[in-house]
Amino acid sequence: MKKLFLFLIILVALSCQANSEKSAMYDDAGTPQTESSPPKAPQYKKEESSPIPSTRKIIKTAEVRLQVKNLDSSSKHIQDLVEQFGGFVSNLNMANSNYEWSAQISLKVPAKNFQTLLDSIKKQAIFLNYERIHTDDVTEEYFDIQTRLKTKKEVRDRYIDILRNKAKTVKDILLAEEKIRVVQEEIEAAEGRLKFLSSNVRLSTITVELYQKIEYKPTPNTYSNSFWNRVGRSFKNGLSFFEELTLGLISIWPILLILGLLFGFRKRIFRRFRRNERD
């Protein structure tokens, strides 16, 4: 009995030792560790995307149509307002019809004062027909052009360096000059586009259409000439013809002088001619 109990104790001890050796062959995550296992590859952080520009490039435009009590005073007040907000009038058109007087005013104003000026203009209305506001975000285009412009300038500078230091033959010189010309045109076009975008971002546009209702007035009859008006015009035309004729005769005075001399000495000429025939 004692021998059997001792045998069971030895068997349990051997089993515990085997389990401890087996567990030592695995790592903390349960992956077997062997001498031939390759080391884990190092992990790298993903590259962060380029940050969005803090200052966005937004073009703002607005269109508003409103009825006013007095067209002249309202249009003058709006012109004064835009000057107070640092802007200016870019276009002004006035028109009249049988039933209303109207004016269309295009304004340029710094973007920071866009909404304030628009609200001030609407205070002139006794009736607001419509108000339209449009914004165009050109941030991506603006910075894309800036990046491409920088690249084109670097390419141009490389061609200039080739022209100065490496071009030896006439063919190489002409080829380099042509490349520089093409790239320079692209640079100027990109710079022009940047200036256009910058100007429209800096100055917003507001188009204001004002109108004043008036009592209907029929279109006046067309003007027609009376008999005496036509007589007077004919007299003036005759006088103009006489003046032109006189000036024309004066301009050919040498011919008239020769003809006058021939007419004055015609008798002497005929007499001499007859004597020659008798002889």
180 with 132, same domain: the answer is no
Tokens linked to 215: 């009592």
* Residue 24 pLDDT: 43
CA 2 to chain centre: 107
Give the 3-state secondary structure of residue 69.
coil
Examine the fold and report which residue of 84, 111, 136 is the final residue of a domain before the chain moves on. Answer: 136
Q: Are residues 72 and 128 in the same domain?
A: yes
**Alpha carbons 205 and 211: distance in angstroms, whole number:** 20
Average pLDDT of the residues in 234-247: 83
And the tokens for 88? 């200016």
Residues 108 and 122 in one domain: yes
Find the domain containing 153 and state its range.
139-200
pTM here is: 0.56
Same domain, 132 and 62: yes
**What number of CA atoms fall less than 13 Å from residue 130's CA on the CB side?**
6
Confidence at 64, pLDDT banded by 50, 70, 90: very high
Same domain flag for 118 and 187: no
Number of domains composing the chain: 2
Q: In this structure, are 147 and 189 located in the same domain?
A: yes
pLDDT band at 235 (very low <50, low <70, confident <90, very high): confident
> CATH no. for residue 67?
3.30.70
Domain-embedded: residue 231: no
Domain membership of residue 222 (yes or no) is no
Domain assignment present for residue 104? The answer is yes
pLDDT over 90 at 148, yes or no = yes
Is there a single domain that holds both residue 69 and residue 100?
A: yes
Q: Are residues 129 and 144 in the same domain?
A: no
Q: Tell me the one-letter amino acid at 103.
A: A
Q: Is residue 184 part of a domain?
A: yes
Half-sphere exposure of 38 (CA within 13 A, CB side): 3
Residue 253 lies in a domain: no
Nearest in space to 75 (alpha carbons), one of 106, 113, 112: 106
- Residues 131 and 144 reside in one and the same domain: no
164 and 119 share a domain?
no
Based on the domain organization, do 98 and 157 belong to the same domain? no
Residue 88 in any domain: the answer is yes
Output the pLDDT for position 22: 45
Task: Give a yes or no: residue 216 inside a domain.
Answer: no
- For residue 68, tell me if it sits in a domain: yes
More confident residue, 132 or 238: 132
